[in-house]
Chains A and B, each alone.
Chain A
Amino acid sequence: MKKLAIAGLFAALAVAATGAQDKASAAEAGAELPEYHWSFEGIFGTYDRAAAQRGLQVYVEVCASCHGLKYVAFRNLKDIGYSEEEVKAFASQFTVTDGPNDAGQMFDREARPSDRFPEPFANEQAARAANNGAYPPDLSVIAQARAHGPDYLTALLIGYEDPPADMELGAGQYYNKYFPGGQIAMPQLLYEGSVDYADGTEATPEQMAQDVSHFLMWAAEPHLEERKQMGMKVILFLLVFTGLTYALKKKIWKDIH
Chain B
Amino acid sequence: MSGLNTNNRVVKWVDHRLPIFTFMKHSLDEYPTPRNLSYFWNFGSLAGITLVIMIVTGILLAMHYTAHVDYAFGSVERIMRDVQFGWLLRYIHMNGASFFFIVVYIHIFRGLYYGSYKSPREVLWALGVIILLLMMATAFLGYTLPWGQMSFWGATVITNLFSAIPLVGQDIVVWLWGGFSVDNPTLNRFFSLHYLLPFLIVGVVVLHLWALHRFGSNNPLGIDAKGPQDKIPFHPYYTIKDVFGLAVFLIFFALFVFYAPNYMGHPDNYIPADPLQTPPHIVPEWYFLPFYAILRAFTQDAIIYWPVSWLMSAKLTGVLAMFGSIIVLFVLPWLDSSPVRSAKFRPIYKQFFWVLVVDVLVLGYVGSQPAEEPWTWIGQIAVVYYFAHFLVILPLLGKLERPKPLPKSISEPVLKGGGMAAGATAKPMEKA
Contact = CB atoms under 8 A, between A and B. Distances in A.
A227 B368 contact: no
A228 B259 contact: yes
B368 A21 contact: yes
B244 A249 contact: yes
A239 interface: yes
B369 interface: yes
Interface stretch (A49-57, A96-104, A139-147, A194-202): A139-147
A235 B262 contact: no
B310 interface: no
Contacts of B248: 4, 242
A246 interface: yes
B369 A227 contact: no
Contact of A246 (B105, B237, B244, B414): B244
Contacts of B106: 7, 10-11
B281 A24 contact: yes
Given A3-B38, A17-B289, A18-B263, A222 B102 contact: no
A76 interface: yes
Overall SS of chain A's interface: helix
A10 B40 CA distance: 12
Nearest to B269: A145
B281 A146 contact: no
Contact of B270 (A21, A141, A231): A141
Q: How large is the interface on A (under 10, 10 to 19, 20 to 34, 35 or more residues)?
A: 35 or more
A93 to B, nearest CB: 23
Given A76-B81, A144-B270, A227-B88, A245 B244 contact: yes
B129 interface: no
Given A25-B280, A231-B259, 14 more contacts: A7-B43, A14-B105, A14-B287, A15-B263, A18-B264, A20-B365, A76-B81, A141-B77, A149-B267, A227-B87, A231-B258, A235-B251, A256-B232, A256-B237
Given A235-B251, A238-B251, A246-B244, A144 B40 contact: no
Interface string A189-231: 0000000000000000000000000000000101100111011
A165 interface: no
Closest 10 CB pairs of A and B: A231-B258, A145-B270, A242-B247, A21-B368, A245-B244, A144-B270, A71-B77, A223-B87, A18-B286, A141-B270
Contact of B370 (A1, A24, A141, A227): A24
Contacts of A11: 102, 106, 252
Contacts of B250: 238
A10 B251 contact: no
B368 A24 contact: yes
A231 B102 CA distance: 21
B244 A28 contact: no
B36 to A, nearest CB: 9
A252 interface: yes
B247 A145 contact: no
A129 interface: no
A107 interface: no
A256 B251 contact: no
Given A140-B77, A234-B258, A3 B270 contact: no
Contacts of B78: 71
Nearest to A4: B39
A22 to B, nearest CB: 8
Interface in A120-176: 137, 140-142, 144-147, 149
B271 A17 contact: no
Interface in B127-182: none
A89 interface: no
